[in-house]
Structure 1
Amino acid sequence: MNDVVYDRIGVGYTRGRRPDPRWQAALDEVLGEAGTIVNVGAGTGSYEPAGRYVLAVEPSATMIAQRPSGAAPALCGHAEELPIADGQFDVAMALVTLHHWQNWAKGLRELQRVARRVVVLHFDPVVHSGFWLVTDYLPELADVWRDVPRPQEVAAALGPATSIRELPVPRDCVDGFLPAYWRRPEAYLDPGVRRSMSGLQLLDSDVLARGVAALRSDLNDGTWQRRNAALLDEDQLDVGWRLIFTE
């Protein structure tokens, strides 16, 4: 994927994407005592921690323009060539962005160059591809993620002192990424909700329309409810999100 895709699809992004407080707490725990953080692929600033010095690096002017007043300062730049000197930060973090980089391995090396620790929030494309929206309605999404590395590959690139922590999605998640509405399927019928999901926006429009129409039909006749009855008893779901961090 192209990491400036958000210049095309990022308008109005903040309407559907807000940090979930449970994910924020998990991230803050992993960040530990870090006082200086560079946020690479920072987007509009979701999950940037309070009470610390943060510098954002983001390639999309559209996303930078949507950063709220008072947000951390932002530089326009790419993960693969960070405009930062060696060892300047306690932590370099990259949240829900690795799948948009042109060269993820080079980008990770840059994170390691500019910071003493690295924290990455990333998804497992194999687990993601088992999500019901993909398997039952939009199998073409698996092709969108074809070249996305698995968390184990990311951890291996970062070195042996790297941990992987599962990050389940709560049933009432407020951050509108693609699997956020796993228990609220009606949300995927809303064009405004779909607009903030980069995977859907990268699909052919006819393919997306076909999948949405099939979902609408299954919701109307009860097929979705019968097929996914077990999900309605769950409070959270593992759809492949992982926190990957060095010690």
Structure 2
Amino acid sequence: MTVPHYRRILVKLSGEALLGESDYGICPTTLTRIADELAEVNTLGVEVAVVIGGGNIFRGAGLAAAGMDRITADHMGMLATVMNALALQDALERRGVFSRVMSAIKINQVCEDYIRRRAVRHLEKGRVVIFAAGTGNPFFTTDSAASLRAVEIGAELLLKGTKVDGVYTSDPVNDPSARRYERLTYDDVLSQKLEVMDATAIVLCRDQGMRIMVFDMTRAGNVVQAAQGASVGTVVDPG
């Protein structure tokens, strides 16, 4: 039997991770693949938490830039993350994996309120916990929410899912000469303004020593390999 390397991890998924080949919403095939991977990690005995964004449905910052009140726009973005979280919960439970959606804003008819001790208890019972609605506050990204929740629940690794296999010197899609970093310190990320996570999230991880691995979420098997201790992307830690 494969022995997991980590006891508890938090996976950060952008809303765009659910798009697949679609332009909007949730691709059922992509949702199925992600749920399969999380279910496999769960069967290894790893406690799994997820923070999910809402950019496939609504981006608050974008509409705010077009003139909408930023706080209203951010609240709408939080609601989009709840929709994604419920979709992921359904996909997991259709695979026999018990899961809970915990929201940072009160929406009791569809999910639980976020309470740290209750979240930890769910994890200890082998349930996948999906954190929705970011931090519950405007002006904070779901990257910041992922860092905060990872620290609060005592995760040993924060897995940041992207569309590329790590952090590069520049955008590898537009720059063929871009080089991939194997390892970075938090201060490297901040000083070089690398687009790993927003600065608030990186500072929180740095101050609390939360290890980050930036990996390609589109490649099947990466989450499972990371949970087993493999390096599947760029590691950000104290160095």
TM (norm. structure 1) is: 0.30
Higher Rg of the two aligned structures = 1
